[in-house]
Copies of this chain bind each other. A is one copy, B any other.
Amino acid sequence: MDYNEAKNKFISTWGALGTLWGINKAMAQIHALLLISPEPLSMEDIMEELQISRGNTSMNLRQLMDWGIVFKENKMGERKEYFTSEKDVQELARQIAKERSRRELQPTIKILNDVSNIQDDGTAKTTELIKQTKALHEMANNLDIMMNKVVGQEQNWITKALVKLIK
């Protein structure tokens, strides 16, 4: 496997995986490209490399910046904007965990809490609804605490966490 084949394989795998995580293909591919690029890339570079339109590139770069995993960079004496990704995969994971907690987990926890606190009228269906949403609430809460713990952690948390879990 040569460089180009490997690069394409990586970019398309990352793209496909992104979809499964609620991130669209173009967004994931731009991220993949920046992650393995030793130099910051311009919008033109990205459009060219991934064969996508200017509008698409612009919108997805913005989203990646909103996620806090891609940054604008300016080269001295150049008007054009360049982009880089967070290169440290630990930091990347931390940032993603943080955002997913904020965007998905926390709103869900709020609703589970509301639903699980309805008045119990003693019917089987109400009792079951309360019981199950309470259980989900507790689990989602634990997950959230874990994820935020991890976010506040210094380098290499995942390896450390692993060691703790295994022993």
Say whether B1 contacts A38, CB under 8 Å.
Answer: no
A9 touches B115 (CB 8 A): yes
Interchain nearest-CB distance for A9 vs B (Å): 6
Name the contact of A118 in the complex, choosing from B6, B87, B111, B149 (C-beta under 8 A): B6
Report A46 CB to chain B, min CB distance, Å.
15
Contact B87 A132 (CB under 8 A): yes
* Nearest CB in chain B to that of A90: its residue: B139
| B10 A115 Cβ-Cβ under 8 A | yes
- Tell me, in angstroms, the Cα distance from A139 to B6 when the chains sit together: 19
A93 at interface by CB-CB < 8 Å: yes
User: Does any Cβ of B come within 8 Å of A76's Cβ?
Assistant: no
The docked-state distance in angstroms from the alpha carbon of A58 to that of B123 is 29
Q: How large is the interface on A (under 10, 10 to 19, 20 to 34, 35 or more residues)?
A: 35 or more
Taken together as a complex, chains A and B put the C-alpha atoms of A104 and B14 apart, in Å, by 11
Q: Interface 1/0s, chain A 97-112, versus B by CB < 8 A?
A: 0000000100010011
Which partner residue on chain B sits nearest A166 by CB separation?
A: B149
| Cα distance, A126 to B1, chains bound together (Å) | 12
- Looking at the complex, which one of B129, B142, B145 makes contact with A3 (CB distance below 8 Å)? B129
> Would you give the 0/1 interface string for A123-167, flagging 1 where the beta carbon is closer than 8 Å to chain B?
111111100110110010011011001100000001101101110
Which residues of chain B are near A52, meaning CB under 8 Å? none
The 10 closest A-B pairs by CB, nearest first: A20-B22, A38-B124, A89-B135, A38-B128, A36-B129, A164-B164, A6-B118, A6-B115, A13-B111, A10-B115
